Chain A
Amino acid sequence: MKEDTIAAIASPVAEGGIGIIRISGDDALAVLEKVFYPVRKHISGNIPVASEEKLTEEADISIGAYEKRKKEMFLPQAISETGGLPLENRRLSYGYIIDNHTGQVIDEVLAVAMAAPYTYTRENVAEIYCHGSVVALRKTLKLIFQNGARPAEAGEFTKRAFLNGRLDLSQAEAVIDLIKAKTDTGFDAAMSQLQGGLSEKIREIRNNLMDALVNITVNIDYPDEDIEEIVYSELLQSLSQIDDEIAILLKSAGTGRMIKEGLKVAIIGKPNVGKSSLMNALLKENRAIVTEIPGTTRDTIEEQVSIRDIPVVLTDTAGIRETEDTIEKIGIERSKETANRADLIILMIDGSSSLTPEDEEIISALKEHRLLAVLNKRDKGTIISKSQMQTLLPKAEIIETSVAYGEGIEAVENAVEALVYAGGVKPGESLLVTNARHEDLLRRAQKYLADAEAAVKAEEPLDIIEIDVKESYTVLGEIIGESVTDDIINEVFARFCLGK
């Protein structure tokens, strides 16, 4: 019996270190060979690019710039002259992770292939030591999933190690604890990410699939009932609509980021302080991925953006008060609520005029939060000083801006990035892994849907079509932790009048 090949990021994610991806299972070595392109750079010195010095320097420059430089330096053609060496068992090789579909170089890495049984899991194991850029790590992992591995479940490497006799008996309890602990935190992480629009969107897509499934099921199981026959052209249309919706979700994930998840940044402050302008400025400088997210609270606006390659969901509480006459209750309450849900708060204060009672109330509510305080409207004067602000908010990072003139935006971005990597907020390992898992599941759902559409086009009978539609439905359910079990049958009876 073949064991599935699993993969995951095996190291804590932090800037500057090395990110390790581990692959385990029967196909682990084959998967590695598909994505990893070893070169004999150190031995032959034949690669006409980047000197060792330059590589070292680059560790210190920002991620985005590094990516850009690397693309220029390591063109696949340059590598191919000396690359493609065979991997040796248990020997570290130097080379590149190359997207085997686009030919794009993703990262410069060290990799090792270890044949079973002398490995951690006693299965074939491959490990890739990535440069450590979070983006490269994610891209590499994604590529691995596209090439035959599936995301590892919580504690699965260790579980396999134990089941295959690699770990000592005394470690059994520890293994169980690990499965439990990882499941619990993994679950929390997944839930917190899903509180945004993603789970709602997936539910919506799933409901549409459910409609199709229920119709197919009732057609199959109740041939005698007074029920409309399924029209293939209509079925195809609804399937391809669902396909499109998944494609939109995946498109946002295409650059390694998922729509409606990532770091939640809430911009809070009284009206007209410049929240919307800051949001727009951040959106303008950084590529906005989606403009509007349906299903979120009417009073808040959410935008997806990537700041320094960190996926961020910006929440603007704008509109809270502008539409309301009674300022007090809603504004403050809503701010508190948004603050509680956010990973990071940007509190905006008008630095050109003195604090209003409203400002003070917000400040006192957020005093204990770790946040970025932005003193805006510096172009109009300095009534509140930076140090004044620091006394009010001892835990805050204070930045002065003039958003209207585009000043200080970069400082905000720097501060967001710094806070993320300094551990001020923790996207953590689970965030990344869970994302990759979601993406993988979405891709699989899409694949099944494509198969179903092909079957409809080929005019295959309904029961054949149903197989892939149901698979797609099941896989989407895995993202939000819902199983298929009986819900289709329940829906059939809820929607149709059936029976003798």
Chain B
Amino acid sequence: MSYFVMDEYDIIVIGAGHAGCEAALAAARMGCKTLMFSITLEAVAMMACNPSIGGTGKGHLVREIDALGGEMGKNIDKTFIQSRMLNMAKGPAVHSLRAQADKELYHREMKKTIEAEELLHLKQGEVIDLIVEEKKAAGVVLKTGAVYRAKAVIIATGTFLSGKIFIGDAAYESGPNGLAPARTLSDNLRKHGMELRRFKTGTPARALSKSLDYSKMIEQKGDPVVVPFSFLNDELEKEQISCWLTYTNDKTHEVIRSNFHRSALFSGKIEGIGPRYCPSIEDKINRFSDKQRHQLFIEPEGLETDEIYIQGMSSSLPEDVQREFYRTISGLENIEIVRPAYAIEYDCIDPLKLRTNLEYRDIKNLFCAGQFNGSSGYEEAAAQGLMAGINAALRVQGKEPFVLDRSEAYIGVLIDDLVTKGTNEPYRIMTSRAEYRLVLRQDNADLRLTEKGYRIGLASQERYDRFLEKKKHVEEEKKRLETTYVTPSQANVFLEEMGTSPLQNRITLAELLKRPQINYQSLSQIDDKMPQLSSHEQTQLEVQIKYEGYIGKQMAQIERFQKLEGRKLPEDLDYEEIDGLRIEARQKLNQIRPVSLGQASRISGVSPADINVLLVYFEKQRRLKKQ
């Protein structure tokens, strides 16, 4: 086989899924000549599993990606067919936006955006090897023999890398959705010294909508007022499509139970580790045998297709069993399955091998993102893709890495968890993983991150101007509310109407707004100087004022947290040399090589006493250097 050099780029991205797209767009927008490969161009931004974007924690990630200048938020705003804000009753920090997408449209719109991006090229091709020179990534080799050189490479292979599909007894090499897998790359990555492991995930069947009886199901409509994902959009109006809810029953469980032995999951054929948060239906019935019924949602895959997605029912049982148990379910009696549910196994790395900028520790200029890093989910992938793209671009430009910490973003929580704690299953973000949830709200992602995105050259001028304007409006109005007093005679009639106690003395509008019965809009009845604010701005004000006390508490915690984050650790330190560290701590520190004392303190096996030993050690080094 002959090899030939085709071209030279700043950055090459392997894979064009949700991670790859964000990575490539970010790199190109930051001024790097970028090339992205996909085994097939049909797989660009393909939603291989559920047809929705967002949800708890995930919605936060999308907002953050958007605030930094990423694409996912804008793309779903263009292509959603239903939108809901979840958790409205459970507090401002966990309000979570989720939208159903038209999958085909989502793919097409993203592809269009990529094709329009000046410095970005998208090509179909299977990468089979990396070029690594002096422990630095320098390009890729294609199956065709074509060689592309680059200053940095980003791996975002998803479930394509040595993908293997399981349906009942059948097991065969395949990428997701019947697409070709990347067969050769794994061996060559190992050749370059990368250790790979197997993870597993699964997806439920797709069926024809016309074969279902919706009269037996419960309708789930979208919200009447749609909140956009992107901070660039003020309001979106669109006719929305419903989802439908139905349940499994005894009969379903019986069919599944009597066929346990035919499931790939229980037969021991699957060696990959699956995520606990999306168990297959056989797994659910096995583990929660006392549960009478399990819910499933029927979600449309798009406007131009009759296919629907059966959320809650992923399975690796054989096709005949699948059809049998689906047909026991109310409304699904005549279901026509067009794509059977399957489990898929793929190669990925241990993310402990990564630096905080998502660069592979032992190969310089090689960045990694998405399922390849052991995560799961479109949003998790996109978040890492964005950060990998940004950091690859910064490397090419000779600039400092861009890392978000746990107090700045869910993106920071996600990446810190992966590279510091590692993961034993495909990692999913959850709001409970964030320590400073009340500060990391989806409503203030722009206030937290847009400035940073702008500084590194990613967030557009338009986005930055909008952010400045919103910030100014909120700050001004907050100040006005805090300094404008109302007297009992001005307010008490209104307060009685709102069902809250009357005033004895004058009080500021801000104090009044803290009362649960009162929202910002309602204040207009006693406040004739109220400015016209956007709904984004109103939400911001309300949350900032109503939860001031709690937010203040978290800010104090963050201050303490950042103190340790600020104590940087040298890269080349040999922890074996430091007396006083326990052996386990030495090994873990040498393995993970934390960048700060804060990161070190989160490594399992490193105790507070070890951190103290490190503190003393560095003070000693500092003084020795001074002498």
Contacts and interface: CB of A to CB of B under 8 A. Distances in A.
Contacts of A175: 616
B278 interface: yes
A245 to B, nearest CB: 24
Contact of B56 (A165, A173, A221): A221
B277 A493 contact: yes
B547 interface: yes
Interface in A119-177: 153-156, 159, 162-163, 165, 169, 172-173, 175-177
B432 interface: yes
Interface in A442-487: 458-464, 467, 485-486
B294 interface: yes
B91 A223 contact: no
B207 to A, nearest CB: 15
Contacts of A240: none
Contacts of A180: 580, 609, 613
Contact of A489 (B432, B608, B609, B616): B432
A159 B563 contact: no
A223 B616 contact: no
A288 interface: no
Q: Which of B421, B617, B620 has the most CB of A within 10 A?
A: B620
B604 A461 contact: no
Contacts of A485: 421, 604
Given A179-B580, A459-B516, A163 B609 contact: no
Nearest to B429: A221
A138 B87 CA distance: 48
Interface in A182-226: 183, 217, 219-226
A226 B437 CA distance: 24
A224 B421 CA distance: 28
- Of the candidates B87, B92, B547, B617, the one having the most CB atoms from chain A within 10 angstroms of its own CB is B87
A172 B617 CA distance: 7
B57 interface: yes
Chain A interface size range: 35 or more
A463 B96 contact: no
Contacts of B553: 467
B429 to A, nearest CB: 10
A214 B360 CA distance: 35
B295 interface: yes
B90 interface: yes
B616 A176 contact: yes
A101 interface: no
Interface string B259-278: 00000000000000001111
Nearest to A488: B432
Nearest to A496: B288
Given A159-B615, A163-B616, A461 B90 contact: yes
A3 B615 CA distance: 15
B91 A462 contact: yes
B624 A169 contact: yes
Contacts of B612: 153, 155-156, 159, 179
B559 interface: yes
A467 B56 contact: no
Interface in B424-444: 430-433, 437-438
A169 B617 contact: no
A1 interface: yes
A500 B580 contact: no
Nearest to A498: B277
Given A176-B580, A460-B91, A463-B438, A497 B287 contact: yes
A500 B51 CA distance: 12
B547 A464 contact: yes
A220 to B, nearest CB: 5
Given A162-B619, A169-B624, A172-B620, A461 B89 contact: yes
Contacts of B295: 225-226
Interface string B59-93: 00000000000000000000000000011011111
A220 B550 contact: no
Contacts of A156: 612
B315 to A, nearest CB: 11
A225 B49 CA distance: 18
B63 to A, nearest CB: 16
A310 to B, nearest CB: 30
Contacts of B247: 226
A499 interface: yes
B294 to A, nearest CB: 7
B623 interface: yes
Contact of B314 (A223, A224, A500): A500
B284 interface: yes
Interface in A238-252: none
Nearest to B436: A467
B351 interface: no
A222 B311 CA distance: 14
B94 interface: yes
A460 B515 CA distance: 11
Contacts of B287: 497
Contact of A463 (B288, B431, B609): B431
Contact of B516 (A165, A458, A499): A458
Contacts of B293: 226
Given A169-B623, A172-B619, A497-B291, A222 B613 contact: no
B50 interface: yes
A155 B608 CA distance: 12
Interface in B586-627: 604, 607-609, 612-613, 615-617, 619-620, 623-624, 627
12 contacts: A159-B615, A163-B616, A169-B627, A172-B619, A179-B612, A220-B91, A221-B431, A223-B56, A223-B87, A461-B92, A467-B554, A493-B277
List 9 tightest A-B contacts by C-beta distance, closest first: A461-B91, A463-B91, A176-B580, A499-B278, A172-B620, A183-B609, A497-B288, A493-B276, A223-B86
Given A177-B580, A464-B550, A489-B432, 5 more contacts: A220-B90, A460-B91, A463-B90, A467-B437, A489-B430
